[in-house]
Amino acid sequence: TSKTPLNTEEDLQELLLTLPSEKNLDGNNSLYLYQGAWIPVSFNLRGVDSFQRHFVAQDTDIIVASMPKSGTTWLKALAFSVAKRHIYGAGESPLLTTSPHELVPFFETDLYSKDQLPDLEQLPPPRIFGCHSHYGNLPESIRDSKCKVVYICRNPLDQIVSFFQFAHKFKVDDGVSLLSLDECYESICRGAYGQGPFWDNVLGYWKASSERPDKVLFLKFEDLKEDIVFNLKKLAEFLGVPFTDEEEKEGVVEEIARLCSFDNLRNLEVNKNGVRPLSGAPNSAFFRKGEVGDWVNYLSPSMAENFLDIIEEKLTGSGLTF
Ligand code: A3P
């Protein structure tokens, strides 16, 4: 945490003067390096600070962590469905009428973004939260308690393409045009884009998952696409609520997979026409193509190869590959 709490806008402005900054998508130098993570000032640094200072984890908590545009929405829906399946019967899921981001709010931008601290004590267990912070920047109580952390990552080429598409869709029309992926490519290669560097974000969770497999589950978007049933079972087991033989026979796993599938969620009224209450962002922006390999339509082969070479070098020795 920073030395002084960022209680006011003035505290934040004072801190920003001391941080390295880079060009963000808006063309301004509004991307700041804070505790080793590149954070757009719009993401809410005060929320990040408040979350670190005040959140107290409970052993039954579930934290869905990710770099943005890696499949967070999907994993939130899956984790919610698995962990709360004893409460809601088939056909009764709140996901049918509520965005996964409302059911599983982000610490930094939703819960700790207001001047008043959230009252989270009252929430029924298991509480499920989302988070984009690097592992090393999580509040100690998350790392030290028995709560579970589920991380999702994605092929970095698809992730950056999704990130740029999202920024353009999400954007409020203020007459300022955002920078393109080409214009930001050089900073991307240095890891300077939202919640980057990519390698630091993923490696923190990757290392934690190999050191403490009971604490951190590391998932890949591509693996979920390939075999969602297998990964749902893995998730349920990790969360301490494995599917029973009876549930498996009844097709509960497949039912959750179907409920949370891209086509199903995307076509629900709430995700087609709803908006996020705080930011006003359309829920539909979280559902674009949901495919593996869409980067070929946006990146030249040499850009892709160069970026992957950098990633590979940064991940050397970790055992993690893309
Ligand atoms: P694309 O832009 O490649 O389509 P996040 O949830 O972390 O913001 O990531 C968003 C990405 O996940 C988008 O990728 C989005 O389409 C995809 N996505 C959202 N819901 C999904 C689902 N249920 N299944 C598969 N992909 C999904």
User: 235-292: per-residue pLDDT in tens?
Assistant: 999 999 999 999 999 999 999 999 999 999 999 999 999 998 887 889 999 999 999 9
Is the CB of 68 inside a 6 Å radius of any atom of ligand 1?
yes
Whether 234 shows a pLDDT value over 70: the answer reads: yes
Query: Among the atoms of ligand 1, which is closest to the Cα of residue 165?
Result: 2
Give the residue, 171 or 100, on which the prediction is more confident: 100
Query: Among the atoms of ligand 1, which is closest to the Cα of residue 158?
Result: 3
Query: pLDDT digits over 180-189, tens only?
Result: 999 999 999 9
Task: Please name the residue whose Cα sits nearest to atom 22 of ligand 1.
Answer: 262
Nearest Cα residue to 95 out of 283, 289, 285: 283
Which token pair is 310?
């950098």
ipTM of the complex: 1.00
Whether 174 shows a pLDDT value over 80: the answer reads: no
Task: Please name the residue whose Cα sits nearest to atom 27 of ligand 1.
Answer: 290
Query: pLDDT digits over 23-81, tens only?
Result: 999 888 899 999 999 999 888 899 999 999 999 999 999 999 999 999 999 999 999 99
Is the CB of 70 inside a 6 Å radius of any atom of ligand 1?
yes
Distance 287 CA to ligand 1 centre (A): 5
Query: Among the atoms of ligand 1, which is closest to the Cα of residue 166?
Result: 2
- The terminus-to-terminus CA distance of the chain in angstroms comes to 32
Answer left, alpha or beta for residue 204, where phi above 0 means left and psi between -120 and 50 means alpha.
Answer: alpha
Is the CB of 276 inside a 6 Å radius of any atom of ligand 1?
no
Backbone angles phi, psi at 165, to 5 degrees: -60, -40
> What are residue 134's DSSP bridge partners?
none
Distance 221 CA to ligand 1 centre (A): 9
Catalytic residue of the set 54, 132, 134, 168: 132
| Residue 233, C-beta contacts closer than 8 angstroms, at least 6 positions apart | 242, 243, 253
Is the CB of 66 inside a 6 Å radius of any atom of ligand 1?
yes
Q: Tell me 40's DSSP state.
A: E
- Sign of the alpha-carbon torsion through 299, 301, 302, 307: positive
For position 42, what pLDDT does the model report? Answer: 83
What's the Cα-to-Cα distance from 51 to each of 201, 210, 283, 316, rounded to whole Å? 18, 26, 24, 32
Query: Among the atoms of ligand 1, which is closest to the Cα of residue 73?
Result: 6
What is the SS3 assignment for 236? helix
132 catalytic? Reply is: yes
Backbone angles phi, psi at 136, to 5 degrees: -65, -15
The rounded distance, in Å, linking the Cα atoms of 127 and 129 is: 7
Is the CB of 298 inside a 6 Å radius of any atom of ligand 1?
no
What is the SS3 assignment for 142? helix
For position 277, what pLDDT does the model report? Answer: 86
